Structure 1
C-alpha cells in the first residue's frame, strides 16, 4: 500500500493535485505552505474521523480531500468532505476502486460509504489477517481486531515527534495508545495470530464452565448433607401455619409430606361488607343521642318537681302562720272569729284584717293548684324513664351486633395473614424440593467436573507449547539487527554498540557494556533523530522483506531541523539551496537524505518515503526526489485565488 496522489478541491470546482512516486519523495519550501498538513490529510482519508488539519488557509478554502492508494493490481480513491462548520470530525466518505483510478472532477464527488467501510476495505487490501489482540486471560481489558488504523503509529513521524526523546511512535503519548501498540504490533509483524486467541477463548469458556460446575457440585453436597434437617424444619413451619398437622417419621416420609405441602390451596376468606360496620356505628350514635336527650328531659322534669316541692312547703308554712289568726276570739252569735282591732270592736275600720285574710285565701288556691299538677308530672317522669330503658336495650343490642361485625373483619385479616404465611412456606418447600439432589445427580456432576478439568488442562498445555513469545523475541532481534547500522550512518552517538527496539517501554535501547542506555537518557536532537529513524527504518525493512501487512510508505516531517543552528535559521531556509548551504550542516543533511534514498532503493526497494522539509540541496540526485518546485506563496498546497468556504 502506497500513496499515488493527494487531491484537494475548492468550493468553485477547482482541484489541486500532488503526485508521488516510489522511492524518496521530498517536498520542500517555506513555512505555512501546507507541507505538514499532508500527513493529516492522508490520515483523514485512511478512516480516521478526527480532522487534524490545522486552522487557517487550508480549512478556509478546501471543500473536499482525497487520496488515491496503490495496491498490488488495484487502486482505491478515498475522498472526504470537510467537516461541517463547528465540527471536529467527519465520517462520510466517497470510495472508488479500480485497476487504475484517476482523481474525479468536483461534480463527481458524492458520499457512498463511511469511515468504517474504508477501514474494513484498506485492512483487507493491505492483507491484515483475521486476528484478535493477544490479551492475557487474567487481564480485564477486552480483545479487539487489529486493522489498518493500527499501522498509523509507524507511518507518520511529525515535526514534534521525530526528535522527541520521550516518544518514539506517533500518538504514543495519548491515553490507551501505548497498550494498543504493544497489542497490535506482534500481529502486524506476523508473530501473533488467531490460533492463540482461539485457544485462549476456549480456555476462558472452559474455566468458566468449570467454576459453575464446581458451584453445582458444592450445592449438591450441601443439599444432601443437610436435606433431612432442613426437611424437618420446613415441616415444622408448615404445621405452624396450619398446612400439615403432623410430621412423618423417616426421610422418605418427610419428603413425601413435603410433596403434599405443594398441594395446599389458600383458604377462602369470607366476604366483608365494610358498609355494615359503618351503618351499625351510625345507629349507635343516633341511639346514644336519643338517650342523652331523654335523660335531659327527665332531669328537667325532676328539677321542676323539686322546685314545686319547695314552693309547697313554704306555702304551707305561710298558711299555717296565717291560720293562727283563727285562734282569736269568735262571735258566739255568728260563729266568726273576732279581730281584736276591728272597728266594730274598737269603734274604727279594720284593713289589716282584710289583707291577712286575702293572703290566706291566695295561699289556699296555690296549694290546691300545685297539688293538682303532681300526678301528671309523675306520669311524665315514668314514661321518660321507660324510654331511657328501652333505648339502653337497643344500644346494647347494637353494640353486640357491632362486636360481631368487627370480629368477622378480624377473622378476614387473620385468614389473609395465614394464607400469606402459608404461601411463603410452600415457596420455600418448593425451592427445597427442586434443589434436592439425589446421589445419581451428584455422581453426574462429579463426572462433568472431571471432564472439564481435563479440557482445561489440555488447553493450558497447548497454550504452554505456544511459541509466540519466542517468535516475537526473534522478530525484534531481526529488526534490531539493522538499527545500529542506521544509527552509525546517521551520525548518532553510541552507533558502535548494539541497539534494539524495546517493545515493553516503546523506546530505543543501546546495549552498551556495563549498563543499557535508553533513548530518553541521551542528549542532542541529532541523536534522537538517528534513534527514531533507525527504529522505524529497521521495522519497515523487516515488514517489506518478509511481506508483513504494514503500508509501504512513511511520512517524515522536517527531519533536518536538527542540523540548523536555530529554528529561525531553519525556517528561513524556506526551500532555498543558497540559504541551506549558508546555515545548515550540509554534510549531515546530505548524509540523512543519502541514507533515506539508499533505504528505498537497496534496503527496501520500492518503499515510499515522503519527506517535508525546509532544506534543499543542489545535488542532481536530490533534485530528482523533489515532488514539485519548492513551495512558496505561491505556489503552495492551496492556491491563493481559491474562494473561502462559506460559513452559512
Structure 2
C-alpha cells in the first residue's frame, strides 16, 4: 500500500492535485506555512481516522473535501472525506471508490457512501492484515481488540516535533494508552501470530466457552438430582402421613418411591371423618383420673414407708431393752447357796424376789412383742412392692394417654389449617405432580454427560494442535533481527554510540545501546543529529523486516523536515525556503547530502520500490535530488491550497 496522489477540493468545485511516484524518493520542499506538514494529517484522515487534525487557517477554511488515492498491488482505492461541518473536530463519513486505474472524481461526483469503520475494514483487508486478536492476560483490566490499519500509523509518520525527539520514538507514542497499544499490536503486524494460529485460538476460545456452559448445565443437573433425592424422601413422608401412599408400603429405593408418586397422582378424595374434639376431652378426663390415682397410691406408699421406718425404730429400742434386762442373768451367785445374788442387797436375795420377778416378766413381754414386729416385716415389704408396681403402671398409662392426646391435638390442628384431611392430601398430591414435572430424566443427564465429554475432547484436541506457545521466543527473534539492522543503519549515519550494539526495546519503546559498563537508552543521549539517526534507523530497520517477511505494513513513510537538525537554528532552517543557495550557505551540507543519499539508497537497494515522502525546507542541486522533487519548491503560490480559493 502506497500513496498514488492527494487531492483537495474548494467549496466552489476547484481541485488541486498532488501526484507522487509510488516507488522511490519523493521530496516536497519550499517555504513554511505552505501546507507541507498538513499532508500527513490528510493521509491519516483519509485512512479512517475520525479526528480532524489539519491546522487551523487556510486549509480548513478553503478546502471542502480531501481525497487520497492509495495504490495496492492489483488495484487503486480512493478515499474521500469532507471537512467537518462548521469547524467541527471530527468527521466519520467517507466515500470509497475502487478500480484498476482510477480517474480523479470531479467535485460534483463526491458523495458519502460509507464511514470510517468501512474504510478501516477495507484498507486492512487489502493490506493483508490477518484475522487477529491482541493477547491480553486474564488478570489485566484492558480488553482484547483487533489490530487493523490504524495500528500501522505509528510506523508511517515522523512529524516535525517527533523526528528528533529523544524521549519518543514512534508517532503518537506520548498519547494516553497508545504505548500499550503499540506493544499489543506490533507482534501481530510482524507476524508473530499466524492467521492459522489465530483461527485455532479462536476455535479454542469458542470450545472453552461451550465447555464452561456445559459444565454449568451438568453441575446444575447433578445438583437437581441431589436435591431431588432429599425432596423425594420429604414428599414420601408427607404422602404416607396424609394417606395417599399406603402405610404398608416401605422402600428406600428412589425409583420405587417415584413410581409410587406416579400412582399417587390417581388419588381420589375420601369421606373425611369429623374432628377429634370429643376424643381430646375423654383423653383429658382419663389423664386427670390417672394422675389422681397416682397421687393416692403415692400417698399410701409414703404412709407405709413411714410405718416401716417407725417399726424399725421400735425393734431397735426393744432389742436394746432386752439386752439390758438380760444382763440380770449375769449377776453373781451366792457362794454358799449357789443362788443369784443382787448386788448391794442382803444375802440370798435371788431371782424369785419381787423385783426380779417384775424385771424378768418385762423381759419376756418385750421378747414377745419383738418377735411379733419382726414377723410383720415381710408383709410390709410386699405391700410396698405392690404399691410401686401400681405407680409404674399408672405412669405408663399417663405417658400413653399424653401421646394420644398430642396426636389428637396435632391432627386437629392440621385439619383446622388445611380445612380437611382431603385438602392436606390434595396439597401433597399437587407438590408431587410439580416435582414429577420438573424431575430431570436419567436419559437427559446422560445426554449432558455425553456432550460434556465431547467438548472436553474437542478442547484437548485444539490445545494439542496449537501446541506450546512459542510466541515470546519468536518475538524475541524478530526484535533481535530488527535490532541488528538498527545497528547497521546507525553506523551508516555515523551517529554517536555507533560502535556499540543497538537494541530496539519493545517494552520501553526506545533504542538502547549496550555499552560494556552499562546500557544507555536513547533518552540519555545528546544531539539532535544523533536522535534523528536513531529514529530513522529504527523505522527503516522495521520496514526492511516488514518488506522481507511480507508483513502487513504499508510500504511508505512520510518524514517531515528531517534536516532541521543540520541547520544552526530553527529560524535559519525555515529561511532556507527550499532554496539551493540558502541550503548550501547555512546547512551542514555533507550531513544533509548523506541523509538523502541514504534514504534514496533505501528505496532503491534495501527495500526496492519503497515509497519515501519527505517534506523539507532544504534543497540540493544534485540531479538525483532534483529528480526526487514532486513539484517546484512551494512558495505562495504554489502551495497545497491556491491563494485564490474562496473561504467557505
Match runs of 1:207-246 below 5 Å: 207-215=208-216, 218=219, 227-236=228-237
Which residue number in structure 1 is paired with residue 207 of structure 2? 206
* The 10-residue stretch of structure 1 (31-40 or 615-624) with the greater mean CA deviation from structure 2: 615-624
**How far, CA to CA, are the matches of 2:570 and 2:447 in structure 1?**
78
Which residue number in structure 1 is paired with residue 512 of structure 2? 509
SS of structure 1 residue aligned to 2:86: coil
SS of structure 1 residue aligned to 2:17: strand
Q: Is the 8 A contact 1:196 1:466 kept in 2?
A: no
Which residue number in structure 2 is paired with residue 104 of structure 1? 105
Over aligned residues, Cα RMSD in angstroms?
A: 3.8
SS of structure 2 residue aligned to 1:588: helix
**How far, CA to CA, are the matches of 1:508 and 1:264 in structure 2?**
87
Match runs of 1:70-469 below 5 Å: 70-135=71-136, 143-215=144-216, 218=219, 227-236=228-237, 249-250=250-251, 251=253, 252-259=255-262, 426=430, 430=434, 434-435=438-439, 438=442, 451-465=454-468, 467-469=470-472
Distance 1:264 1:19, change over 3 A: farther
Which residue number in structure 2 is paired with residue 47 of structure 1? 48
**How far, CA to CA, are the matches of 1:228 and 1:120 in structure 2?**
56
**How far, CA to CA, are the matches of 1:177 and 1:495 in structure 2?**
29
**How far, CA to CA, are the matches of 1:473 and 1:144 in structure 2?**
22
Aligned-pair CA distance for 1:462: 2.8
Distance 1:199 1:644, change over 3 A: same
Distance 1:220 1:113, change over 3 A: closer
**How far, CA to CA, are the matches of 1:208 and 1:265 in structure 2?**
50
Uncovered stretches (5+) of structure 2, i.e. residues with no partner: 270-414
Aligned-pair CA distance for 1:468: 3.9
Q: Is the 8 A contact 2:235 2:428 kept in 1?
A: no
Distance 1:198 1:429, change over 3 A: farther
**How far, CA to CA, are the matches of 1:133 and 1:513 in structure 2?**
36
After superposition, the C-alpha distances for 1:130-165 in whole angstroms (9 at most, x for unaligned) are: 444445577676554433222212111112222233
After superposition, the C-alpha distances for 1:327-371 in whole angstroms (9 at most, x for unaligned) are: xxxxxxxxxxxxxxxxxxxxxxxxxxxxxxxxxxxxxxxxxxxxx
**How far, CA to CA, are the matches of 2:508 and 2:268 in structure 1?**
71
SS of structure 1 residue aligned to 2:600: helix
Which residue number in structure 2 is paired with residue 610 of structure 1? 613
Distance 1:491 1:414, change over 3 A: farther
Which residue number in structure 2 is paired with residue 20 of structure 1? 20
Uncovered stretches (5+) of structure 1, i.e. residues with no partner: 267-410
Match runs of 1:548-627 below 5 Å: 548-627=551-630
Which residue number in structure 2 is paired with residue 487 of structure 1? 490
Q: Is the 8 A contact 1:200 1:463 kept in 2?
A: yes
**How far, CA to CA, are the matches of 2:610 and 2:539 in structure 1?**
13
Q: Is the 8 A contact 1:159 1:558 kept in 2?
A: yes
1:10 aligns with 2:41: no
Q: Is the 8 A contact 1:74 1:99 kept in 2?
A: yes
Total equivalences in the alignment = 499
Aligned-pair CA distance for 1:36: 0.8
SS of structure 2 residue aligned to 1:624: helix
Q: TM-score, normalised by structure 2?
A: 0.68
Which residue number in structure 2 is paired with residue 635 of structure 1? 638
**How far, CA to CA, are the matches of 1:61 and 1:413 in structure 2?**
89
Aligned-pair CA distance for 1:598: 1.4
Aligned-pair CA distance for 1:553: 0.9
SS of structure 2 residue aligned to 1:42: helix
Q: Is the 8 A contact 1:261 1:426 kept in 2?
A: no
Q: TM-score, normalised by structure 1?
A: 0.68
**How far, CA to CA, are the matches of 2:206 and 2:30 in structure 1?**
59
Aligned-pair CA distance for 1:612: 1.2
* The 10-residue stretch of structure 1 (534-543 or 519-528) with the greater mean CA deviation from structure 2: 519-528
**How far, CA to CA, are the matches of 2:432 and 2:163 in structure 1?**
71
Distance 1:428 1:16, change over 3 A: farther
Which residue number in structure 1 is paired with residue 35 of structure 2? 34
Q: Is the 8 A contact 1:134 1:197 kept in 2?
A: no
Aligned-pair CA distance for 1:119: 2.7
**How far, CA to CA, are the matches of 1:531 and 1:613 in structure 2?**
19
